[in-house]
Structure 1
Amino acid sequence: MVLADLYPFIKATHVGLALLSGGLFAGRGLGVLLSATAPMAPWVRRLSQVIDTALLGAALLLLWILRINPFATPWLLVKLTLLVAYIVFGTLALRRASTRTGKALAFVLALCCFAVMAAIARTHDPMGMLRMMGL
Structure 2
Amino acid sequence: MQTYIVLKHIHMLAVVLSGAFFLKRGHWMLNADDRLEAKWVKVLPHVIDTILLGSAIGLVVVGKWYENWPAWLSAKIVLVVLYVLFGTFALKRGKTLQIRLIMWVLAIAVFITIALTAISKAFPPSMLNM
Out of 4, 7, 10, which is 2:4 matched to? 7
Summarize the Cα distance change of 1:132–1:70 in structure 2 as closer, same or farther, 3 Å threshold: farther
What fraction of aligned residue pairs are identical, expressed as a percent? 33
Alignment of 1:85-104 (within 5 A): 85-104=82-101
Summarize the Cα distance change of 1:8–1:71 in structure 2 as closer, same or farther, 3 Å threshold: closer
Number of equivalent positions: 129
Unaligned runs of 5+ in 1: none
Q: Following the alignment from structure 1 to structure 2, what is the Cα–Cα distance between the partners of residues 11 and 78?
A: 18
Report the TM-score, using the length of structure 1 for normalisation. 0.90
Q: Which amino acid aligns with 1:132?
A: M
Report the TM-score, using the length of structure 2 for normalisation. 0.93
Note the aligned Cα RMSD (angstroms): 1.6
Deviation at 1:39, TM superposition (A): 2.1
Out of 23, 27, 32, which is 1:26 matched to? 23
* Counterpart residue number, 1:53: 50
CA deviation vs aligned residue, 1:67-102 (integer Å, no higher than 9, x gap):
113994210111111100000000000010100000
* Counterpart residue number, 1:132: 127
* Counterpart residue number, 1:114: 111
Q: Which amino acid aligns with 2:115?
A: A
Summarize the Cα distance change of 1:123–1:132 in structure 2 as closer, same or farther, 3 Å threshold: same
List, as ranges, runs of 4+ consecutive aligned residues in structure 1 with deviation greater than 2 Å: 69-72
